[in-house]
Structure 1
Amino acid sequence: MDRPSAVAQLRAALGRFAAEHGLDGHWCVALSGGPDSLALTAVAAALRPTTAVIVDHRLQAGSHTVAAAARDQALALGCVAAQVVPVEVGVDGGPEAAARAARYAALEQARDGAPVLLGHTLDDQAETVLMGLGRGSGARSIAGMVPYDAPWCRPLLGVRRSVTHAACAELALTPWRDPHNDDPRFTRVRLRAEVLPLLDEVLHGGVAEALARTAAALREDTDALDAIAADVPVETELPVATLTGLPAAVRRRVIRRWLLDGGAAGLSDGQIRSVDALVSAWRGQGGVAVPSAATRSRLFAGRRGEVLTLYREPVAD
């Protein structure tokens, strides 16, 4: 039996995704002009009314020209609308994280209530899992990207990058080749160009698929543990007795939720474990600094008697 064409594979993947998650009516697609998002835009526009949103990060010379070309391609593919959104990219978290934050903020503002299709593929998922492994950030990080986290939709997480490239060729589309995708200064580029090919060679292939399966399995486990932890009530002051009888994996999830509710942000696995030690390895130690969005004070988690508390200390001028 002949294998379906690349376009047919993408159309089937998107159709299954829309049916599974009850997506109907108008949707948006995040279009960079690259092969993954361009192929997704072509398929999406053929299925239902689609608006393309092109975020111009303005990090490269001539980016406005690239964005305008992507807008024209979107309209030629049948999108009902296409808009270019210029953004200012900050510096927090490094260049990749800052660009991502600016991009998602722009998409959130431009989507006008519609779900947003993102062109992440199975290869992107494998790279994300490897990055999570390298950071040692725990199961949540290794679980990779979530297929559906409204309004963000990733219908191609089960599709190899080679399929989106082949779909562009079938449709005679000329995608933009982002020079950043070949720049070894970026961790993801080196994973793509060096690490994954080496792992495929050593392990005799199938590494990207195996990493994606691992992410899916971990995500199921993580979701189940999160659901158990969500049933544990938390207050401003968290009684130690509430935590001591819980399995460690559930206890740390309760602590994470308590910290986030109290104003923490960008928590690492190590920071959560340090706060957890106030319960599991209590020896009278002092408070644990945790990150927050505040700039004039620092947030701490501490133990006072038989409760965990959050408190702030001013930042010295």
Structure 2
Amino acid sequence: MTNSPFYPIGTPGKAWGEAELGQWQASQSRQRRYKDDVVPRIMALADRFEILSYGQIDYAGEAYSLFALRNGAPDPSLPTALVTGGVHGYETSGVMGALQFLETRADDYVGKVNLLVAPCVSPWAYERINRWNRDAIDPNRNFTPDSKARECTALIELVAAQGGSFLLHIDLHETTDSDESEFRPALAARDGEDFVPGAIPDGFYLVDDSENRQPAFQQAIISAVEQVTHIAPPDDAGMIIGSPVVAHGVIEYPQARYAMCASVTGARFTTTTEVYPDSPRATSAICNHAQVAAVYAALDFAIAHR
């Protein structure tokens, strides 16, 4: 048991029921608009990319269309790559970095790769600046075909519809101070568990797949991002967010076992980026640039080593 105050919804030691879920839903207010921030930037790319409407989310009468962009009809002679952002809606540079990559660098890969980009996987959470969807489900632990999160099944269906195999999938995320102040306490409360405080690393890091390690690929991304922002050091125990640091700026998770987004393609090269926007050494522009650098470094390496 910790001395940290319990999350304001629920009873210590008891998992949430419908009443607690309803309280949490009522506490979530819209703080920005997907249709104003994200959709117009997607539509502005219609002359350069094919825009795919790959699903719709409807929460309590609020409908959100899910969009992906593709650089033309897939060429079977080329490798296929997926870029995802906004799986956690509150992780802003994941969304904005994906859009910035489309606007500034994606044309460099015409004729080199079948590129598919889903900039905002969880629009309801984007608007509420939240980790979970409206059902208090974390999408990045629920990418399974029978998932209760429509954000997840829609993306899985989009991937399946492309046909063929994927060479690369890079999933753009952030680690924020609110992970420790809001989202991990909420998770503990939802599940009726004690909240054990952790530490937020100061800097960028990557999450490799422990069941498909690609160390040279990860380091190529770290080297590119290091030109934009600082890389998170390990803590005194050699850890980042409780996981051993296996290389400069890299930790590992078993992506498929954790039902993470980066597992949905079965690609040879996969990674999850983690930008730290709350650092005094970072700005929103730096965070977006770091995501863009990660994407093009990942593409360059994967194409060169296909």
Q: Same fold per TM (> 0.5)?
A: no
- The structure where strand makes up a greater share of residues is 2
With the shorter chain as reference, the TM-score category is under 0.3
Q: Which has the higher contact order (CA 8 A, sep 6+)?
A: 2
TM-score of the pair, normalised by structure 2: 0.26
